[in-house]
A and B are shown apart, each in its own frame.
Chain A
């Protein structure tokens, strides 16, 4: 429409439409049902004495619970580190033109994704039964160094290997998907500029793949935080085991499970927020305007209508993050 048209239309501009909005009785009915159910649940939580909220409060900051929490965090961080590093390596191997490398990566992923993680944890724990000694030396030749397996792989290490190596198999597929999502034109442009294979991967492909890799990696980290509880099966005293140790003495089973759950919930909530900010960082260049931070969103709510502060240019699929 050009200015001439507008000039012609403006004087006779019709009144803005005022109509009776459509009523949604179904929404109201649904909301009432949900509210009643929520009230019932809350009532049950408060009135059922078996929850023993005083006991929950007593153990929430108990030193052995906090110690278990520390172990859980350490396990999560370290096994994700192994998972991400191993997964990236496996993904690059899998995409390699060398059939031995890609075959090895394929086999690794097949084995570690194909068996339950609990079984893998038990395997690492009982490795000493399989090989009583571990040594370093010339393959099929003499060895320079040798130690009993159980000494080289203490409990924590067994847990770490079990969780980390399993995670690497999953991360490999995530990283591979990310790498393959980057257009081949990017690699060509980098090669045409004289960049080497490795710096093309490091500087051009991986940073772009990150946008695809980060969201599922966040999910994996959150999932890992909870998966570490499986380690209680090999008697490593992480968060769940710490709780179990207490209730096996005091029989306050439910309160301690609640205590432990509160910590898990709190940690996953924190991780969700962290993930959101990391995603926002890697959205650079993909979105014309970065999506608002949760704080900005909150501020927007108080300013009046909760309209999307980011404007029309935001790519909806990349906005996510708060959906855990």
Chain B
């Protein structure tokens, strides 16, 4: 990676930077000050019990949720706001959409468009959002399907695919926008145990190619093997962070230990 932007200090800009991010749904505070940095090309794993705020934090990164306090930026730009002087201006829907082009997201329940075939799912955004020609998008779409091992399923509707195949199509769909950051929200939690491997294989391949990835998962084996950094969250705060090997192998906090003893 040679074209990374450099800050004046000479360090690369972190892909995601969160400073004391707070998020409430009504009276319930789900994120209580999350501070972390995700570097370019890094596979960043978020683990924690359900309700700990991992998914919410992930959804804040592409502005599916609006944060209430703190600062959150992607590749140096604030998420959802523009700063002029010390004033924040909310971005228009169109500007938010423009930012989202560069951030791919993969959902727990795939959320493929059921009225479109696998290939149509993939070319939809490149054609509609980027104005790519249908033929060029189809060509790239087929290459992406090839890459996730589903070229022969191009003409199938999601209802005709297994969960693992659907999730691989969903990954290809996100990649079709050529994102610089990929968010994975429990991508294997809705899958039969047998089908988890095929999805993790695709993700492993992506990581090897240097894609920056933030992965919310309960797959500790994947975290340990592929992850560059890991954060354990509970109750809306970061309890412990470090390299996956350190945190998973030698957890410092009682809460982390208790959680890992149940998951591992």
Interface residue A203 (Cβ < 8 Å from any Cβ of B): yes
Q: With A192-B103, A193-B124, A193-B173 given, is the CB distance from A208 to B114 under 8 Å?
A: yes
Are A186 and B111 within 8 A (Cβ)?
A: yes
Chain B: CB-nearest residue to A198: B93
Contacts of B64 in A (CB 8 A): 188, 191-192
Are A185 and B100 within 8 A (Cβ)?
A: no
Q: With A193-B174, A203-B128, A285-B114 given, is the CB distance from A185 to B107 under 8 Å?
A: yes
Chain B: CB-nearest residue to A313: B159
Q: With A193-B124, A193-B177, A194-B177 given, is the CB distance from A285 to B100 under 8 Å?
A: no
Interface residue A204 (Cβ < 8 Å from any Cβ of B): yes
Chain A: CB-nearest residue to B101: A194
- Kindly supply a per-residue 1/0 record for chain B positions 149-189, scoring 1 wherever the CB is within 8 Å of any chain A CB and 0 otherwise: 00000000111100000000000011001000000000000
Interface residue B143 (Cβ < 8 Å from any Cβ of A): no
Chain B min CB distance to A288 (Å): 6
Are A285 and B177 within 8 A (Cβ)?
A: no
Contacts of A284 in B (CB 8 A): 115, 157
Chain B: CB-nearest residue to A184: B111
Are B62 and A286 within 8 A (Cβ)?
A: no
Q: Residue B129 contacts which of A185, A193, A285, A287 (CB distance < 8 angstroms)?
A: A193
Chain B min CB distance to A190 (Å): 8
What number of residue pairs across chains A and B have CB atoms under 8 A from each other?
76
Interface residue B113 (Cβ < 8 Å from any Cβ of A): yes
Contacts of B101 in A (CB 8 A): 193-194
Contacts of B97 in A (CB 8 A): 191, 194-196
Q: With A199-B128, A208-B115 given, is the CB distance from A194 to B160 under 8 Å?
A: no
Distance of A195 Cα from B158 Cα, bound (Å): 20
Are A194 and B115 within 8 A (Cβ)?
A: no
Are A196 and B114 within 8 A (Cβ)?
A: no
Are B113 and A189 within 8 A (Cβ)?
A: yes
Distance of A190 Cα from B159 Cα, bound (Å): 18
Are A285 and B159 within 8 A (Cβ)?
A: yes
Interface residue B91 (Cβ < 8 Å from any Cβ of A): no
Are B107 and A189 within 8 A (Cβ)?
A: yes
Distance of A82 Cα from B9 Cα, bound (Å): 63
Query: Main secondary structure on chain A at its contact with chain B?
Result: helix
Interface residue A115 (Cβ < 8 Å from any Cβ of B): no
Interface residue A2 (Cβ < 8 Å from any Cβ of B): no
Interface residue B263 (Cβ < 8 Å from any Cβ of A): no
Interface residue B11 (Cβ < 8 Å from any Cβ of A): no
Distance of A224 Cα from B87 Cα, bound (Å): 56
Contacts of B159 in A (CB 8 A): 285-288
Interface residue B6 (Cβ < 8 Å from any Cβ of A): no
Are B114 and A195 within 8 A (Cβ)?
A: no
Contacts of A189 in B (CB 8 A): 105, 107, 111-113
Are B107 and A195 within 8 A (Cβ)?
A: no
Distance of A199 Cα from B113 Cα, bound (Å): 14
Interface residue B204 (Cβ < 8 Å from any Cβ of A): no
Are A192 and B124 within 8 A (Cβ)?
A: no
Are A196 and B94 within 8 A (Cβ)?
A: yes
Are B93 and A192 within 8 A (Cβ)?
A: no
* Interface size of A in residues (CB-CB distance below 8 Å): 24
Distance of A285 Cα from B159 Cα, bound (Å): 6
Chain A min CB distance to B8 (Å): 30
Distance of A199 Cα from B116 Cα, bound (Å): 15
Q: With A194-B177, A203-B128, A288-B160 given, is the CB distance from A186 to B113 under 8 Å?
A: yes
Distance of A25 Cα from B97 Cα, bound (Å): 68
Chain A: CB-nearest residue to B93: A197
Distance of A208 Cα from B112 Cα, bound (Å): 12
Are A194 and B94 within 8 A (Cβ)?
A: no
Are A196 and B125 within 8 A (Cβ)?
A: no
Q: Residue A188 contacts which of B111, B116, B128 (CB distance < 8 angstroms)?
A: B111
Distance of A49 Cα from B97 Cα, bound (Å): 73
Chain B: CB-nearest residue to A284: B115
> Which residues of B from 84 to 131 have beta carbons under 8 Å from A?
93-94, 97-101, 103-105, 107, 109, 111-116, 124-125, 128-129
- Residues of A near any B CB (own CB < 8 A): 183, 185-186, 188-197, 199, 203-204, 207-208, 282, 284-288
- Residues of B near any A CB (own CB < 8 A): 62, 64, 93-94, 97-101, 103-105, 107, 109, 111-116, 124-125, 128-129, 157-160, 173-174, 177
Q: Known contacts A191-B64, A193-B101, A195-B128; can you find 17 more A-B pairs with CB under 8 A?
A: A183-B111, A188-B107, A190-B113, A192-B62, A192-B100, A192-B174, A194-B98, A194-B99, A194-B101, A196-B93, A196-B94, A197-B93, A203-B128, A282-B115, A285-B115, A286-B115, A288-B160
Give 23 A-B contacts (CB < 8 Å), ordered by A residue.
A186-B113, A188-B64, A189-B105, A189-B107, A191-B100, A192-B103, A192-B104, A193-B173, A193-B174, A193-B177, A194-B100, A194-B177, A195-B125, A195-B128, A196-B93, A196-B94, A196-B129, A199-B129, A203-B124, A203-B128, A208-B114, A285-B116, A287-B159
Q: Sort A-B residue pairs by CB-CB distance and give the 9 closest, nearest first.
A: A194-B101, A189-B111, A193-B125, A192-B105, A285-B157, A185-B111, A194-B100, A285-B114, A285-B115
